[in-house]
Amino acid sequence: MPDASLQPATARLRLLLRLSLAGVVFTTVVILIGVWTRLVDAGLGCPDWPGCYGRLVVPDAERAMAHSPDAPLEVFKAWVEMIHRYVASALGLLVIALLVLGAGLRRRPGYPWATSVALLIVILLQGAFGAFTVTLKLWPQVVTMHLLGGLAVLLLFLWLHLSLRRFAKGDAAPSSRRRRLTPLWGVAMLMLLLQLALGGWVSSNYAGIACQGFPTCNGEWWPEMDWSEGFHLTQTVGPNYLHGQLHADARTAIHQGHRIGALLLGLALVALAARYWKETRLRPWLGGLVIAYGVQLGLGIANVLMWLPLWLALLHTAGAVALVLLMALGLWQWRESALVADDSTRRDKEWVHV
């Protein structure tokens, strides 16, 4: 039976649990607002950072012209960009609040202090990527990393919440009692990461409709493609990457790469579900992963056939977020199930002894 001293059922811990869960929801909102900002071409709605034409709010046209005469003010796009910055800043304040509230518990066995610090570091890096997105004029490498950074913040919020729940229950068991990552889990996670990066690369290079039609691409199974240019990751920073700089064959290669990645991810998820389906505690998460993948695949196809409507593109991003969350929850349940099995075995031995 866990020591009562390891179960700090305090108001502070309850607040930490609520705030970390709110962080998961809030980060999802911030990611979707960021994607919406990009889809309405508002990523450069403000030519500077962190302000907008030198102001903390969108100025009038006269002041904007005086600040940046080469970047005419578009009021709607400027406000979209600033709203994204406001909500992202609020998310940063939430991370700081979690760190401050948890500081007094950091020496308690099992408290996820390292996760809290990692969350702060990643959110600071994410802010830097946000600045570089503007100052480097939507350079695809930075835009893609900005998306992956947002998903990393989401994962850390979720992991922090789950760790806090475990801490609140007084489970300070060493990590050695939890399952280690297996090659199959590693492959599935790697394929998901690769596909997320490919999705960001498609978006940042405006290659979403480089292939018309499905399952063929522009009427061919293997059209003309320029892979070296499409995945030239060391390209120099151009003057402005709004609407992309790559030629058609390079964008086609990027789009086809994303389709191939989707196929490989699907195979990995099906293999993962088949391997661990016998474990009852994992079935909801494994089944959810496969279902979410199927929905995400359908959304991707619909985006191509319907020429990337705004609402459908946002749903596709939401599907990616769902896959990330389900993968993390499945991995957590898989690791923790070893502890559940150990506890059950111990109770059985105690019963036999009695």
- Residues marked as catalytic: 81
Q: Give the other-Cβ count within 10 Å of 315's Cβ.
A: 17
Cα–Cα distance measured from residue 178 to residue 201, given in angstroms and rounded to the nearest whole number:
35
Torsion over CA of 335, 341, 347 and 353, rounded to 10 degrees?
A: -130
Query: Per residue in 240-263, is it b (16+ CB within 10 Å) or e — as a string?
Result: ebeebbbeeebbbbbbbbbbebbe
End-to-end CA distance of the chain: 17
Name which of 286, 295, 270 is nearest 333 in CA terms: 286
**How is residue 202 written in tokens?**
């498609």
Torsion over CA of 90, 94, 96 and 97, rounded to 10 degrees?
A: 130
